């Protein structure tokens, strides 16, 4: 049982550029504000700064939209070049209606516009893509912290997704390292003697969404420390959170 969880915003991270050393930027920002990392902390890092550091930012001036992208753009009053990038980042289109595009990315995520986003990128006609390997990105940050500080922390790469049947967006884990993002309660007996049969908690998404409360959307807080969470160290990353097709009732 967790007695208390603390969520600490990490301020002072500079505007990230391609090839920046994220580990150094994050460690220095934590130390400057007097909240240095500790063993068993969970570090939540927004997808946007990971994508910037990894060069996953595209200038739309170099994109030639297809006729299909132009059609989608007309229906939704969108930039056809943006829609072309979305199509290129998509494995398949799940739903398309009135210019809204829900796709499955090459990673297997189901989300709006394949995660292609123009907000908080740093300039007009720039869009960011999701990292090519979010779990690998998380593992790289975790390993870098171990090498610099000798600490064992977990790392979650977060992004904002819409949710079926619910209004509003929420941060979820698209990458993870050093933490099992699923808590399996199957077989556990509740206080009334009932044995749970299907209950599996998405701890990774819970941690990502809790960090969002101190990050905000326009507050330039791309990192948060979540401290006090009891978690199991796991090697498999956030790919565990993708529901297999044979279990997907809506596919």
Residues 192 and 103 in one domain: no
Please state, in angstroms and rounded to a whole number, the distance separating the CA atoms of residues 57 and 117: 10
Confidence band of 119 (pLDDT split at 50, 70, 90) = confident
At residue 199, the pLDDT reads 77
CATH code for the domain of 83: 3.90.1660.10
* pLDDT tops 90 at residue 121: no
* Domain C-terminal end among 73, 96, 127: 127
Residues 119 and 73 in one domain: yes
Please state, in angstroms and rounded to a whole number, the distance separating the CA atoms of residues 48 and 130: 8
Number of domains in the chain: 2
Residues 121 and 140 in one domain: no
Q: Is residue 248 included in any domain, yes or no? A: no
At residue 24, the pLDDT reads 97
Residues 97 and 216 in one domain: no
* pLDDT tops 90 at residue 132: yes
| The dihedral sign for the CA sequence 81, 84, 85, 86 | positive
* pLDDT tops 80 at residue 97: yes
* Domain C-terminal end among 73, 92, 127: 127
Contact status, residue 27 vs residue 146, Cβ threshold 8 Å: no
The owner of tokens 């720039």 is 126
* pLDDT tops 70 at residue 2: no
Residues 169 and 232 in one domain: yes
Confidence band of 145 (pLDDT split at 50, 70, 90) = very high
Which region among 67-71, 143-147, 160-164, 229-233 has the lowest average model confidence (pLDDT)? 160-164
pLDDT digit string (tens) for 196-211?
A: 776 788 999 999 999 9
Residues 99 and 171 in one domain: no
Q: How many helices (H) and strands (E) does the chain have?
A: 6, 12
Please state, in angstroms and rounded to a whole number, the distance separating the CA atoms of residues 145 and 152: 8
Q: Read off the pTM.
A: 0.92
Confidence band of 247 (pLDDT split at 50, 70, 90) = confident
Which region among 119-128, 176-185, 190-199 has the lowest average model confidence (pLDDT)? 190-199
Residue 104 burial (C-beta neighbours within 10 Å; 0-12, 13-18, 19+): middle
Q: Is residue 159 included in any domain, yes or no? A: yes
* Domain C-terminal end among 103, 127, 151: 127
Helix H or strand E encompassing 223: strand 223-227
């Amino acid at each position: 049982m967790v007695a208390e969880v603390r969520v600490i915003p990490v301020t002072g991270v500079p505007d990230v550029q391609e090839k920046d050393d994220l580990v150094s930027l994050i460690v220095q920002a934590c130390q400057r504000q007097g909240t240095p990392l500790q063993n068993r902390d969970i570090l939540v890092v927004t997808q946007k700064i990971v994508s910037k550091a990894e060069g996953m930012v595209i200038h739309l001036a170099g994109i030639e939209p297809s006729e299909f992208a132009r059609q989608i753009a007309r229906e939704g009053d969108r930039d056809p070049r943006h829609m072309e990038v979305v199509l290129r980042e998509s494995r398949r289109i799940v739903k398309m209606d009135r210019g809204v595009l829900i796709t499955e990315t090459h990673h297997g995520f189901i989300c709006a516009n394949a995660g292609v986003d123009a907000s908080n990128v740093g300039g007009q006609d720039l869009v960011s893509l999701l990292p090519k390997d979010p779990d690998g990105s998380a593992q790289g940050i975790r390993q870098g912290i171990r090498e610099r500080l000798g600490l064992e922390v977990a790392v979650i790469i977060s992004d904002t997704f819409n949710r079926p049947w619910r209004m509003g967006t929420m941060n979820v884990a698209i990458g993870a390292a050093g933490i099992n993002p699923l808590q399996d309660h199957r077989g556990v007996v509740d206080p009334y003697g009932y044995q749970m049969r299907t209950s599996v908690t998405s701890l990774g998404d819970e941690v990502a969404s809790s960090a969002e409360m101190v990050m905000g959307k326009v507050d330039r807080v791309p990192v948060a420390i979540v401290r006090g969470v009891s978690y199991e160290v796991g090697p498999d990353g956030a790919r565990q959170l993708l529901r297999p097709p044979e279990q997907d009732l809506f596919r």
